[in-house]
Amino acid sequence: MNPTLLIIACILLPFAGSVLALLGGKSLRFQQAVGILAFSLALAASCALLKFTATGEIATVVVGGWKAPYGITLAADILSAMMLVVCNLVALGVAIYSLKGLSVERQTTFFWPLLLILMFGVSGSFVTTDLFNLFVWFEVMLLSSFVLMSSRAGKSQSAGAIKYVVLNLIASTFFLCGAGLLYGKVGTLNMADLAVKLGENDSMLVQSSAAMLFIAYAIKSAVFPFFFWLPASYHTAPIPVSALFAGLLTKVGVYAFMRTGTLFVFTGDSNMERILMVAAILTMVTGVLGAASQFAMRKVLSFHIISQVGYMMLGLALNSTLAIAGAIFYIFHHIIVKSNLFLITGAVEHSIGTSDLSKTGGLYKKLPWLAMLFLIPALSLAGIPPLSGFWAKFVVLKASLDSGEWIAAVAVLAVGLLTLFSMTKIWNEVFWKKVPEGEERELKKIPATMLAPIVALAICTVVIGLFGNDLFKLSEQASEQLLNPQPYIEAVLNPNS
């Protein structure tokens, strides 16, 4: 298929699905069918787009016939296509899980249109080539995610949603100010054009704008010291919503770091790289310590989102082909694993009515298959071989050692051990220990539509671990494209050449 049509399909399929779901009115079955069909087609289109970009080609779409930098150009390279594939995969899994894993009351409160609009914003973020349009896509995600989080909310959920939206609105303000300063200095917001024009000027020209963009991205990615909104909000949302947020939203912020950073903002400036390095290490350490101190599955997993973002940021800070390839591989692995851990948490809650570790226990004897399904993503998150997380951590560790960053290497190992401690704590409390007195509950059967995505994502984790060479080669190619952006710049500015 024409790569231009594939880019358009990846964006418009979720949007069209959202419109159709709204037109479906009160027919929940129709909304469910439209949502699953839209996500399935979007996944197929993104896989085809990845197959095209894996050859080294960059797909572009010139919207309205006006070439960059005056018009809007959409572009997809290997990184964009990889992000589209894994995000659509998880979105499809969450959609199937939601059929029985979310109450009918919540599903009929515009859940399906909002879920599709959220993916519309996520997909647009990966293919835009303009800073202002990236801001717009961020706002599409923010609005839909806020409504998803606050819909039919109780007191704690409303408080979490307010914290989430306020902090993200602050991030949006910094983003808009940084973009405005850049436009005032350079006269363009097209990222490829910015790379060309800033390459011809003193790097001092971008520093004030870079500082504001750094804060905006750091808030959206939950990077130290701007991570505090995430553990205060993610655990309050319904499980399917939390799973999608945990897998996707912070990774869009990391993607923005990578895309704009390698083009014109962060890398190449030794001071900025050092700031990124320190922020990455502190993000890893504070996130894992926060997780180790919690005693509820949702809160433990929410803090681990923060610590794992630190690994991705470390890859960018090291600024080598191997390091950035490791970061990309890490993103792909983490989106699958983290989303699956939240889905398993939902299965535990569905079965026994709680995920509070002080009230759980004994599930290994009653649900041994669920215990094994938990072990796969849990051990992968901790970096135990031969699962996907081991290779992701190994590459980042090797890149740290190759660069002589011993403190970073020690942090990688120490955080991995503490992650294993947290995952072991959940295993012991939920599956291995005896049921606490007075907490005996009759098990509720877990529907097949909830189990199917959990099994599928667990299989993906094992396959990536055992046969991840092709994925790592793609990550290396994506890293080389980021560090040598001239073909991307040329494709955006001269799409027909």
The pLDDT > 90 percentage for the chain reads 60
Per residue in 465-490, pLDDT (tens digit) is 998 899 999 999 999 999 999 999 99
Name the residue with higher pLDDT: 153 or 418: 418
Angle at 195 between CA 194 and CA 196, to 5 degrees: 90
Alpha-helix runs per DSSP H in 24-130: 28-53, 78-101, 104-107, 111-127
pLDDT, residue 64, reads 76
3-state secondary structure of 64: coil
pLDDT greater than 90 at residue 262: no
| pLDDT tens figures, 365-407 | 888 899 999 999 999 999 999 999 999 999 999 999 999 899 9
Q: What is the pLDDT of residue 417?
A: 94
pLDDT tier, 71 (very low <50, low <70, confident <90, very high otherwise):
confident
Give the integer Cα–Cα distance in Å for 256 and 245: 16
pLDDT of 33 strictly over 60: yes
Tokens describing residue 464: 């990536």
Q: Where does 187-269 have alpha helices with state H?
A: 191-199, 207-221, 239-263
What count of Cα atoms within 13 Å lies in the side-chain half-sphere of residue 205? 16
For residues 28-43, give the mean pLDDT.
Answer: 95
| Per-residue pLDDT, 337 | 96
Confidence of residue 187 (pLDDT cuts 50, 70, 90): confident
pLDDT tens profile 301-360: 999 999 999 999 999 999 899 999 999 999 999 999 999 999 999 999 999 888 888 888
Q: Which residues of 226-238 are buried (b: 16+ CB within 10 A; e: fewer)?
A: bbbbbbbbbbbbb
Question: Which pLDDT belongs to residue 204?
Answer: 56
Please count the residues of the chain.
Answer: 497
Q: Is the pLDDT of residue 152 over 80?
A: no
* Angle between helices 155-186 and 131-150 in degrees, nearest 10: 170
Please state, as a whole number, how many other Cβ atoms lie within 10 Å of the Cβ of residue 166.
12
The stretch 49-60 carries a mean pLDDT of: 94
Q: Is a pLDDT exceeding 60 seen at residue 267?
A: no
The pLDDT value given to residue 53: 95
Are 61 and 74 in contact by the 8 Å Cβ rule? The answer is yes
pLDDT digits (tens, 9 = 90+) for 134-151: 999 999 998 898 888 877
Give the Cα separation of 82 and 79 in Å (integer). 5
pTM value is 0.94
Q: What is the mean pLDDT of the chain?
A: 89
Dihedral-angle region of residue 317 (phi above 0 means left; psi in -120 to 50 means alpha; beta otherwise): alpha
Looking at residue 153, its pLDDT comes to 59
Which pLDDT score, from 0 to 100, does residue 229 have? 82
Collect all residues with Cβ–Cβ distance below 8 Å to 159 and sequence separation of at least 6: 232, 236
What pLDDT does 159 receive?
74
pLDDT at 442 over 70: yes
Model pLDDT, residue 24: 80
430 or 234, greater pLDDT: 430
Q: Per-residue pLDDT tens for 163-183?
A: 788 888 899 999 999 999 888
**Cβ atoms of 124 and 142 closer than 8 Å:** no
For 21-45, give the DSSP string: HHHTTT-HHHHHHHHHHHHHHHHHH
67 has pLDDT over 90: no
Average pLDDT over residues 270-287: 88
Q: Do residues 300 and 356 touch, judged by C-beta distance below 8 A? A: no
Q: Is the pLDDT of residue 200 over 90?
A: no
Which pLDDT belongs to residue 162? Answer: 82
Q: What are phi and psi of 296, to 5 degrees?
A: -140, 140
Distance CA 343, CA 349 (A): 10
Residue predicted with more confidence, 238 or 82: 82
Confidence of residue 361 (pLDDT cuts 50, 70, 90): confident
